[in-house]
Amino acid sequence: MSESVIAIEHLRKTYGSVVAVEDVSFEVQQGEIFGLLGPNGAGKTTSVECVQGLRRRDGGEVRVLGLDPRTQATELRRSIGSQLQQSALPDRMRVWEALDLFAAFAPERVDWRALMSAWGLDSLAGRAFGNLSGGQRQRLLIALALVNEPQVVFLDEMTTGLDPAARRATWDLIREVRARGCTIVLVTHFMEEAERLCDRIAIMDAGRIVATGTPQALIAAEPAGVRVQFTTSVPELGFLGKVDHVAAVQRDGERVEVDGNGPVLALVAAALVKHGIVPDDLRVERPTLEDVFLRLTGHSMRD
């Protein structure tokens, strides 16, 4: 096995005749934010639960911090944190009580009050879990995953239920967690979240990994190319078809679409200016991580 923080080879998990994870292999490096993407039922949550020792794998090899989660789960849990997709606390347990309780199980006593403040839970300290909103519960559960100052933390759909402002604030906090040396495995269905946060991602479908790489590299390899759009009343635009990297020019009335690859936006803009055309609505559409996902899996994240 590799010396990576997490090393997985040919992971397999079945439930009777149902194969949830068929053949999954990937590695996660120290200090990396590694994203796991896939549609519902792809096997993402089952995979990370096997990696944490929460489910017993049926095949393959797994090492986390050099430990086998199947046989060394107790030792491993001292060094990892986990925010599960489905988590709950007793309805009457207060926010401060939950943090204090979880901190008591940490190998070394930690300042849970600082963590409570960092995650914006100060004003909710005395509120019972059953009276928290969905977003407030999510913030508390993430804080609890970090209370033992783990070397590796697993976050499964961490921003579900958060509004856009809270989601972006959470991203900033996750970056701070990584900056302190923590390795993060992030299961998410938010494409923007994966693109903004993750150093590398793995896309899962039907229990298998179908692609791994940086978000930028996966997008750059997308064959869809680049589309430049603008409007103009100038009738003759034949010169655009001769611009380097331009593959096709389409026109519908004053609306123009130019398809190509590489630095096509800069080259088209330069050609337009050279011919005295300066559209004020020049814009570009590039392939996105969602385009990559759709091509590889054949369906959207929400399917």
What are the residues facing 249 on neighbouring strands? Answer: 258
243-298 pLDDT, tens digit per residue, is 999 999 999 999 999 999 889 999 999 999 999 999 999 999 988 899 899 888 87
Average pLDDT over residues 13-27: 95
At 303, the pLDDT band (50, 70, 90 cuts) reads very low
Residues 212 and 234 in one domain: no
pLDDT of 231 > 90? The answer is yes
Task: Check which CATH number belongs to the domain holding 204 and give it.
Answer: 3.40.50.300
- The rounded distance, in Å, linking the Cα atoms of 126 and 130 is 12
Residues 193 and 281 in one domain: no
Q: How many Cβ atoms from other residues are within 10 Å of residue 232's Cβ? A: 16
Q: How many separate domains does the chain show? A: 2
Q: What is the mean pLDDT of the chain?
A: 91
Residues 205 and 190 in one domain: yes
C-alpha distances out from residue 194 to 128, 172, 208, 222, 293, Å: 32, 13, 19, 17, 12
Residues 168 and 260 in one domain: no
135-175 pLDDT, tens digit per residue, is 888 889 989 999 989 999 999 988 887 888 888 888 998 99
User: What does pTM read for this prediction?
Assistant: 0.82
- The rounded distance, in Å, linking the Cα atoms of 204 and 42 is 6
Residues 75 and 154 in one domain: yes
Q: Which range marks the domain in which residue 27 is found? A: 6-79+150-220
User: Per the domain annotation, does 140 fall within a domain?
Assistant: no
| pLDDT of res. 300 | 57
Helix intervals (H) in the chain: 44-52, 73-77, 95-104, 112-118, 134-146, 164-179, 191-197, 215-220, 264-274, 289-297
Residues 176 and 279 in one domain: no
Residues 250 and 274 in one domain: yes
Start-to-end CA span in the chain (Å):
35
C-alpha distances out from residue 54 to 77, 84, 98, 138, 206, Å: 10, 10, 21, 20, 21
User: Per the domain annotation, does 275 fall within a domain?
Assistant: yes
Residues 75 and 155 in one domain: yes
Residues 282 and 185 in one domain: no
- The rounded distance, in Å, linking the Cα atoms of 170 and 262 is 34
Q: In the structure, how many helices (H) and strands (E) does the chain have? A: 10, 13
User: Per the domain annotation, does 86 fall within a domain?
Assistant: no
Residues 211 and 257 in one domain: no
> Is 160 in a helix, a strand, or coil?
coil
Residues 266 and 211 in one domain: no
| pLDDT of res. 299 | 66
116-125 pLDDT, tens digit per residue, is 998 889 999 9
Residues 200 and 244 in one domain: no
Q: DSSP state, 134?
A: H
200-228 pLDDT, tens digit per residue, is 999 999 999 999 999 999 988 888 789 99
What percentage of the chain reaches a pLDDT higher than 70?
97
Task: Check which CATH number belongs to the domain holding 251 and give it.
Answer: 3.30.70
| pLDDT of res. 27 | 96
Least confident of 18-22, 45-49, 177-181, 213-217: 177-181
66-80 pLDDT, tens digit per residue, is 999 999 999 998 899
| pLDDT of res. 1 | 45
C-alpha distances out from residue 8 to 64, 243, 294, Å: 9, 47, 25
At 2, the pLDDT band (50, 70, 90 cuts) reads very low
